Structure 1
C-alpha cells in the first residue's frame, strides 16, 4: 500500500483503527517513507504516566521520526476534543512549515471528525467557569446541575438523561458562557484542519480472531513491561475516579488487583475482555461514520 503513495499527491495521511491493530507501526513506516511527522489522535495517549498501559510509542520509534501530542497532558488535567483540535492544528501547521507531511494516527473517531471539519464549532469556555462547574458536579451531584440547566435551557434539559453527567456539564458550560443553548452551536461544522479529499485516509479493519489474540498478548506484555507500576503512580496522584485518565482500560482492573480484590490473572483477563469490547465499539464507529474517502485495509 505505501508504495502506491506519492508525497506530492497528498496533503496528509490519516490512519484510524481499533486498538492493537498496528496503527502506530504503519504510521511510523509511512512517516519514514514520505518524510512525515506523526500526530497522535488517541484520547488516552495524550496523558502522562500511562505510557505502557495506553500503548504509546516508545524508545526507538520516537527517535526515528518526530512525534507530537503524546503524553503531554497531566492525568489530573481536564482535556477535550476542542483542546486537542487546537493543539493538533498548531502542530500540523508547524509540521507543514518545516516542509514535512502530517501523519495523524489514532483510535478516537471524534478527533478525526473534528480534524476534517465534521465537529460542531463550539464556543470557548473560560477555565474558571469550567473548573467551577466541575467542582459543583462533584460536590452537589449531577441532579443539581440538571436542575440549573432546566432553568437556563429547558429544551436541552429535556433532551438529556438526568444522569448524563458529561453532556449536562457541557450544555451548562455553554449556556452559562454564552447565554445561548448548546443546540444553537450543534450542527455548525468547524473549519477543516485537513481536507479528507486531499489526504490519504486509511482505516484498519483487522481480522477479528487475530485482533483478539493480539489484544490478549499485548495486555500480558504490558504487565511484564511495568503497567502495574504505572497504575501505582497514577493512584498516588489521587486523581478523581470520574476523570478520563482513570478510565483508561486496565486502570480499574489493575487497581483492584493492587487493592487485593482480584487475582492478577483475573485482572488481566477482565482488562483484556474490556479491550476487546472497546475494539468492537471502535470498529462499529468507523464502519458507520467514516465515508468512502477512507480506504479500508486489513492488516497482514
Structure 2
C-alpha cells in the first residue's frame, strides 16, 4: 500500500481532535498536529490542546514539543512534519495530520517558498506606525492594500499583519504570491478532508469552549506568560484580550466577549482559507462513519 498522509482541516471548535484520534485508532497510527500554538509547552488552555486522555489515546507529534522562548514558523514546521511523517511511515502506511493552521498544512503538503528579504528600515517604520496608531491602523492598511490576504489573515495578530505589509512594501506583491508557487511533489499520497458544522452550532461550540477555558484558568495561564507577551504565539486570540484586561483597558467580562467574537471571526477566516483548496473533500464533522468510509475507499483506489 502506498504511504498516505490524511489531512484533517477545518475551523476551530469543529471537532478535528476527536475525529483525528478516531482515524488514527482505525489505522493504528499517529497524529501530527498542524496547529501553530499547540507546540508550546507553556500554553495549553488558550490553545485548546487535546486533553491528557486524548494525547494518551494515540501518539501525537508537535504538541508540547517547544518552549514559548523558541520561534517556530511554517518553514521549520515543514521540516519537522516531514521528519515526523518519515518516522510514522517506517511502521505504518498511514499518518494523520490534523489542525487549523492553513499555512502549516500548505507547508507540509506543497512546500513553502523562501520569503523575500526585507530591508530593516521598512520593518522599523511599520513597527513605529503600529506603536503610534495600534492594530486598527495595520488592519486598515492591509484591508485597503491587500484585501485578498486580509480575507484570510489572522487579523488580531499584529506580527502577521506587519509581515504582510513588509512584503508589500519591499516587493510590491501580496504575501499570497509567495505562498502560491509551484507545489513540491511529495513521495507519499495526500488525502485532504475538511470538516465543519452548521454556523449556529459552530458558534455555540466556540462560546462554550471559551467559557470552559475561563473555568480551567485561562487568566492564570496568561499571567504566567506575561514576560513573553511580545512573542508571536501570544499575539493572538485568547491571549491578547486577557492582556488588555490585565493592562486595565477593559473588564474581564468584556475580554471574554471579545475572545468569543474574535474566535468566531478567526473560524470564518480559516474556512475562507481552506475553501480555496479544491483538493479538500468537505464533511459535516458529526458524520464520522461517512468520513471513515470515504478514507477507506480512497485508500483502496
Instruction: Give the alignment of 1:104-183 within 5 angstroms.
Output: 104-117=97-110, 119-120=112-113, 122=114, 140-142=124-126, 165-167=162-164
1:26 aligns with 2:19: yes
**SS of corresponding position for 2:4:** coil
Pick aligned residue for 2:207 from 216, 241, 248: 216
Q: Distance in 2 between matches of 1:101 and 1:217?
A: 33
Q: What residue in structure 1 maps to residue 277 of structure 2?
A: 290
Q: Decide whether aligned partners of structure 1 residues 202 and 232 sit closer, same or farther in structure 2, where only a CA change above 3 A counts.
A: same
Larger Rg: 1
Q: Deviations over 1:228-259 (max 9, x none)?
A: 11101110x2442xx32122211111122233
Q: Taking structure 1 as the reference length, what is the TM-score of the superposition?
A: 0.74
Q: Any stretches of 5+ residues in structure 1 without a counterpart?
A: 1-7, 145-158, 175-181
From the superposition, tell whether residues 124 and 194 of structure 1 become closer, same or farther in structure 2 (CA, over 3 Å).
farther
Q: What is the alpha-carbon distance in structure 2 between the residues aligned to residue 69 and residue 173 of structure 1? A: 33
Work out the CA distance in 1 between the residues paired with 2:272 and 2:176.
Answer: 26
Whether 1:78 and 2:71 are equivalent positions in the alignment is yes
What is the CA deviation profile of residues 159-187 of structure 1, one whole-angstrom value per residue up to 9, with x for unaligned ones?
A: 999x963146569999xxxxxxx999775
Contact 2:77–2:107 at 8 Å: present in 1 too? no
User: 1:247 aligns to what?
Assistant: 235
Question: How far 1:101 moved relative to its partner?
Answer: 2.4
C-alpha contact 1:39 1:67 (8 A) present in aligned 2 = yes
Question: For structure 1, which segment, 253-262 or 14-23, has the greater mean C-alpha deviation from structure 2 after superposition?
Answer: 253-262
CA contact (8 A) 2:3 2:93 kept: no
Greater Cα offset, 104-113 or 92-101: 92-101
